[in-house]
Amino acid sequence: MIVVDSSIKLDNFRRHTENYELGAVDIETTIANPFAGETKLVSVACSFGDVVGQTFVFKDDEWLASAKPNLESQQWVMHNGLFDRLMMLLWGYDLPLAHDTMAMQYLLDPDEPKSLEKISEKFLGLSSYKNIDYHNILDHPWEEVAEMNAEDTRRTLACFRPLADLINADPELSRVYQWIILPAINELIEVTVAGVPVDEPRLTELTELYAGVIDSLLWEILNSTPKPDPAVYKKGWPKRNKTTEETFNPASTKQVAHVLFDLWKLPVLEKTATGNPSTGADTLIQLETFYTEGFEQEWLGKLREFRKAKKVNDSYLKSWPKFIANGRMNPRYKLLHVVTGRLSSSEPNIQNVPRNKEFRRIFGGVEGYTWMKADYSQAELRIASWLAQEPTMLQAYQENKDLHALTAELVLKDSTPGARQVAKSLNFGLLYGAGANTLRRIARLQYGVFLSEDEAHQHRETFFDTYPALAGWHERSKNELILSGVVRSPLGRVRYLPNAKIPWKVEEMRGKKMHAILEGINMPVQSMASDVLLYSMNKIGPQVRALGASIIAEVHDELDLLVPDDRVDEVAVIVKREMEDTSWLERFGINLDVPMLSDIEVGTHWGSLTDWKQNGNG
């Protein structure tokens, strides 16, 4: 390891960048919000050569700056380049990413661990070497951090060759890697840097509103909750403050269960995974029809309202301010985490913001810019109907019909708006193998629809009679998976589901086997829908940036952009064209004979959007 701290050593580094086509780079930083300028770069290491080679380490200082031209002209392999390249970009270094060892391992088996520690153990037989607590990285001697940093790059480079051989041996994975993953890493860096604009006064306003709502709901609940039975709940309930006596905490599932099942003697309708009585929203809804001594039905509704308000307050309103820097939040996207190939997002999770307009109106409000939302219409249903080659569904989509309405008409024999809502729960639930009971729960919880047991069974049967190819596709997927224990998405992503091979006769494992089978049915659909959007994102990003616009969020089947007001039509045309164009799938050997439709909406905020109508065409 050479610490670059003289012009002679810098020259040596430069010669290496000129002589080697590929090097490995890795950085060490402190843990903080980089967009608030709080993160410190501690060390940068670069490694060259396989058997014989050299590793150079820089401190974040003038020598690193002197090496900038070489750092930016070298082709690098990184382990998790999304992070390292992003961070270096924030410090002004644009490092070309040629390969990513974490991406390779992820594609080979998305269920397997993919840390550098694990893969260097697997491919190189090397043992653990990480002995630094990143939270206190500055407390360690710099040389110690640098040595670990250097070892990271040596291992990255050493793992690269065997991983590349495995990827290259799999033409399908190679295509996903080259045409989707690598471009998406670069594109997601752009999305992350762009960030989501926050209308801070609106955040403050809503936060205050919810504080009041929670207070009054809590007061109502406390005043209608019976006193606990100390004999049953012997520890007693915690005191909220010094002045009050034992007080009920509606956020405690144990206490809620005590009230419902011990004091009011309500029946236990559902159990949790560990066998305790469930107090989930669905249970509460069902309990509303029961009558027992002292039981007040309205209490259940109040508790559900309280939980809802508390949830959005704690998970969103309360947590968001700490993520805001320069008026924006910069969610971290993970491209290499979800087993199906979807993205995930965190700190904050921008993909689970409540649909409530008041919440989504917190985002946007940038003077001179328009919020543009582009989302696929029923992406997974379209892809499933193509995979299953379900003739009735395919025809509906090819004729641009509303599939939910069609299901309402054909399965429920009812064309009212209420029936369409029921039909939606059938389409989305039964597609992935829900049984009658789950169907009832989905309908209740997500669509506010109450189905009797008979209705649920009946609808399920009629549904598969109406779309018989869907049932056939389920059957084929299941049988293939049980034999092979592995499933591939149409684009070539792979997922190993060994539990599917468990014999039926092993009774206690049947649940696991069933779960694997349903995962296997879901995976190709979710995976392909996700890849279609990722590919669009990769193509759209550079084009709209040339017009001063940027992609600011990805929500599974939706892209959100911030567009200069006078470029809205131009950008919308590009976005719609790229999202609806699926001809590139031919490169993956796919001829998608179902149209993918993208709806575009525009407005000032995420929560106040109207349909985009092309000028002179609306």
- Which residues 304-363 are close enough to bind DNA by CB under 7 A? 304, 307-308, 311-312, 314-315, 318-319, 334, 337-340, 342, 344-349, 351-356
Token pair in block for residue 612: 């985009």
Q: What is the smallest separation between the CB atom of 23 and DNA, expressed in angstroms?
A: 30
- The interface region with DNA, picked from 141-149, 179-187, 279-287, 294-302 by CB under 7 A, is 279-287
Q: What is the smallest separation between the CB atom of 441 and DNA, expressed in angstroms?
A: 7
Q: What is the smallest separation between the CB atom of 276 and DNA, expressed in angstroms?
A: 4
Site membership for DNA, residue 247 (CB under 7 A): no
Who contacts 190 (Cβ-Cβ below 8 Å, separation ≥6)?
Answer: 541, 545, 550, 551
Single out the residue of 96, 93, 99, 57 nearest to residue 77, CA to CA. 99
Site membership for DNA, residue 128 (CB under 7 A): no
Q: How many CB atoms lie within 10 A of CB 266?
A: 20
Identity of the residue, 235 or 546, whose beta carbon is nearer to DNA in the bound complex:
235
Q: Which of residues 438-497 bind DNA (CB under 7 A)?
A: 438, 442, 446, 478
Site membership for DNA, residue 421 (CB under 7 A): no
Token pair in block for residue 330: 């910069």
How far lies 423's CA from each of 310, 403, 447, 467, 573, in Å?
A: 31, 9, 10, 13, 32
- The interface region with DNA, picked from 74-82, 114-122, 270-278, 606-614 by CB under 7 A, is 270-278
Identity of the residue, 221 or 251, whose beta carbon is nearer to DNA in the bound complex:
251
Q: What is the smallest separation between the CB atom of 214 and DNA, expressed in angstroms?
A: 11
- The interface region with DNA, picked from 62-70, 86-94, 274-282, 364-372 by CB under 7 A, is 274-282
Q: Which of residues 507-546 bind DNA (CB under 7 A)?
A: 514-515, 517-519, 522-523, 526
Helix, strand, or coil (residue 318): coil
Binning the chain into helix, strand and coil, the percentages to the nearest 5 are: 55, 15, 30
Give the ranges where 467-509 is alpha helix by DSSP (H).
468-484
β 54-58/2-3 pair status: parallel
Q: What is the smallest separation between the CB atom of 340 and DNA, expressed in angstroms?
A: 5
Single out the residue of 355, 395, 359, 358 nearest to residue 375, CA to CA. 355
Q: What is the smallest separation between the CB atom of 466 and DNA, expressed in angstroms?
A: 16
What span, in angstroms and rounded, lies between the C-alpha atoms of 189 and 93?
13
Single out the residue of 522, 534, 527 nearest to residue 492, CA to CA. 527
Site membership for DNA, residue 432 (CB under 7 A): yes
Identity of the residue, 254 or 476, whose beta carbon is nearer to DNA in the bound complex:
254
Binding mask 539-568 for DNA (x = CB under 7 A): ----------------xxxx----------
Single out the residue of 195, 187, 188 nearest to residue 543, CA to CA. 187
Site membership for DNA, residue 278 (CB under 7 A): yes
Identity of the residue, 433 or 603, whose beta carbon is nearer to DNA in the bound complex:
433
| Binding footprint of DNA, residue count (CB under 7 A) | 71
Of 47, 74, 156, 279, the one binding DNA (CB under 7 A) is 279
Distance of CA 328 to the CA centre of its chain: 20
What span, in angstroms and rounded, lies between the C-alpha atoms of 230 and 251?
19
C-alpha dihedral sign at 490, 494, 495, 496:
positive
Q: What is the smallest separation between the CB atom of 475 and DNA, expressed in angstroms?
A: 9
Rounded (5°) CA angle 38-43-47: 140
- The interface region with DNA, picked from 86-94, 303-311, 545-553, 602-610 by CB under 7 A, is 303-311
